[in-house]
Amino acid sequence: MTTNGGFEPVIRRTPVFCGIVPPHILDHLAQHEDQALSDSALRTLQHDSAARTRRRITAVRTLTAVAAPAAPDAVPHRTIYDAEHGTALPGTEVRAEGSEPGQDATVNRAYAGLGATFELYLKAYERNSIDGNGLPLNASVHYDVNYDNAFWNGDQMVFGDGDGEIFTDFTSSVDVIGHELTHGVTQYTANLEYYGQSGALNESVSDVFGSLIKQYSLGQSAEQADWLIGEGLLAPGVHGVALRSMKAPGTAYDDPRLGKDPQPATMQHYVRTSRDNGGVHINSGIPNHAFYLLATALGGNAWDRAGQIWYDVLTGGELQSDADFADFAKLTVAAAKARYQTGEESEAALKAWAQVGVQAS
């Protein structure tokens, strides 16, 4: 919904570090009596906390133009690098755009996941890459040793191999790749502050589009989708199915080593905490569930109407970087009315937010 000819400057900041595995899970693992397990978690936590500090210090403000709709034949520009178990980025180039798959399945999955993300944004929302302007998509795999996370560092994707006992290879879930790259989209658009409710919205938007990227690539309807984030990421033997569930927040895992999924589905169970930037990976369950309720109420493909409404809010220019859940909810109802004239979509959005205890009117 660009109303200014595409040239209104938008303030953009480099985001704080946001890995797919939240600190509450790593904290739990770090306390485990199994030395190897707690060492991997501690190492990941220390790395992530250093990266977080570094990002705050180097935060910059840049001016960027609102993106024009992409040409339908736009193509991605992907490059995959191998960090070879070190932490220097990006590492050695191992696959460039258009080249054939190689022997390393991790490299091929990263390449395919970047492609699936590019595809959804282009085909469903006419967006040309993360910045709307054809940004090259770079990713490094085999980062560090036993590294239990994947993250977008403001410029590129980074994937660990996991410790093998709790987490498998972080390229194994396409929605995780989509989640992290969507942090880039948010960075270039609404730039939601990574703290409290605006931070939980930032996380939720990444889960929403991460799941939509998976659903689009598998051709699944809202009804058929699993609505899980990180399905396939937990190693065999872990009691759980994924990192998060949008369908049933709080039920993704319950494991002696990981703890129990702490996500609430409604405002009634909103978690007040200073950890995890004010619970950004915890309270994101509430807007996640609202999106799930809207998408399943509307039926069909979730990226069509429900996804379009969320995308319009994220990129429309009215969403403030410090928005809370109610601000976001009201904008979804307004966006639904603006794009669809029947009233069905805005009514369904109102109802979905009411079901999670957020006032959208």
Which of 207, 345 has the CB closer to Zn ion? 207
Strand, coil or helix: what is 244? Answer: strand
What is the distance of C-alpha 120 from the center of its chain? 14
Nearest CB to Zn ion, comparing residues 311 and 334? 311
C-alpha–C-alpha distance, residues 249 and 270, integer Å: 12
Considering the complex, state which of residue 209 and residue 353 has its C-beta at the smaller distance from Zn ion: 209
- The amino acid at 319: L
Identity of residue 244: R
Shortest-Cβ-distance residue relative to Zn ion = 18
Nearer to Zn ion, 172 or 296 (CB): 172
Q: State in angstroms the smallest separation of the CB of 194 from Zn ion.
A: 9
150 or 350, CB closer to Zn ion?
150
CB 249 within 8 A of CB 211: no
H or E stretch including 19?
Answer: strand 18-19
Cβ 207 to Zn ion, closest distance in Å? Answer: 8
- To Zn ion, the closest distance from the beta carbon of 20 in angstroms equals 6
- State the nearest-atom distance from the C-beta of 342 to Zn ion, in Å: 34
Minimal distance, residue 223 CB to Zn ion, in Å: 26
Task: Cite the active site residues.
Answer: 180, 281
DSSP 21: S
To the nearest 5 percent, what fractions of the chain are helix, strand and coil?
40, 15, 45
What gap in Å lies between CA 60 and CA 224, rounded to an integer?
42
Cα(282)–Cα(279) distance, integer angstroms:
5
Phi, psi of 145 (to 5 degrees): -110, 130
Query: Which positions lie near Zn ion, rule CB under 5 A?
Result: 18, 203, 206
Smallest gap from Cβ 203 to Zn ion, in A, equals 5
CB nearer to Zn ion: pick between 144 and 207 = 207
Give the chain's largest Cα–Cα span: 59
Q: What are phi and psi of 288, to 5 degrees?
A: -60, -45
Cα–Cα distance for residue pair 26/40, rounded to 1 Å: 9
Question: Are 233 and 172 a contacting pair, CB within 8 Å?
Answer: yes
Say how far apart CA 33 and CA 257 lie, in whole Å.
9
* DSSP β-ladder status, 157-160 and 137-143: parallel
